[in-house]
Every structure is written in structure tokens, then in C-alpha cells.
């Protein structure tokens, strides 16, 4: 596909945002659970690293490199992960703040919508080119 690396990157970002949304919703659901520790999904740095590593060129003239790898292979195997707060914020041991969670949920939804619009725009461009022929 013409934009496979970019599409793979956006797909992985959407995976990260979806998992983040689930973690944030889980946090809200456990706002009154004593001892519950807030969960988060900080994926941007690791995804950025995976995207940068997928752009490292391979020298096809050097036989020790073997076949040219799929540039999106690393992105296909990348996955976001959940982290858990280690320190409680309240006397009951719960580390969830409803104000923070609601703000984070709104931001996550907005970021997901932005990624969705980018994908839709790319496909509209392709459709335009196909229809123009």
C-alpha cells in the first residue's frame, strides 16, 4: 500500500488510545474501590521508537543483511501496555482522581477522533484518484 508505514503507525496509535480509554474507564469504575491503583497507558514514546526503527534503511548490496525486511514488521508486533500507579493518593489507598480521569478521557477521545479523521482523509484521497481515472 502507498502509505503502509504511516497507516501502520496510525493503527498502532489507535490501539494505544483504545487501551488507554479502557484503562481510564476502568479507573472511573473503581473510583470508590479501596486500595485500587490508577492505571495508565503511556505508549507514545515506545511507538515513536518503533516507527523510527522501522525507518532504518537496509543495504541491499550487503549480503550479510539477508533479505530486505518488511519495514512495518516492527510496527505490526508493537503493542501498548498498561502501567499501574505505585503510590496511593488517598487514605483508603485508592489513587484515582475523578477530575483527572474525566479530563484524560476527553483528551483520549479527541486524539482517537483525530487519528480516525486522518485515516478517512487518506482513503478519500485514494478514492479521488481512482475516480478521476
Q: pTM for this structure?
A: 0.80
Cell of 58: 537496509
Tell me which residue has cell 514488521. Answer: 73
Q: What is the pLDDT of residue 70?
A: 65
Cell of 121: 482523509
Structural element, H or E, at residue 49: helix 44-53
Q: What is the pLDDT of residue 74?
A: 73
**CA 23 from centre of chain:** 13
State the average pLDDT for the chain.
86
Amino acid at each position: 500500500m502507498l502509505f503502509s508505514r504511516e497507516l501502520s503507525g496510525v493503527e498502532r496509535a489507535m490501539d494505544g488510545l483504545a487501551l488507554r480509554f479502557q484503562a481510564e474507564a476502568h479507573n472511573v469504575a473503581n473510583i470508590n474501590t479501596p486500595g485500587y491503583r490508577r492505571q495508565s497507558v503511556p505508549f507514545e514514546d515506545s511507538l515513536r521508537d518503533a516507527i523510527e526503527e522501522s525507518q532504518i534503511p537496509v543495504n541491499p548490496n550487503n549480503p550479510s543483511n539477508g533479505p530486505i525486511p518488511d519495514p512495518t514488521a516492527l510496527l505490526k508486533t508493537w503493542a501498548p501496555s498498561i502501567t499501574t500507579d505505585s503510590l496511593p493518593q488517598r487514605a483508603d489507598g485508592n489513587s484515582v482522581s475523578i477530575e483527572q480521569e474525566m479530563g484524560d478521557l476527553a483528551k483520549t477521545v479527541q486524539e482517537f477522533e483525530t487519528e480516525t479523521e486522518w485515516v478517512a482523509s487518506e482513503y478519500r484521497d485514494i478514492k479521488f484518484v481512482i475516480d478521476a481515472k
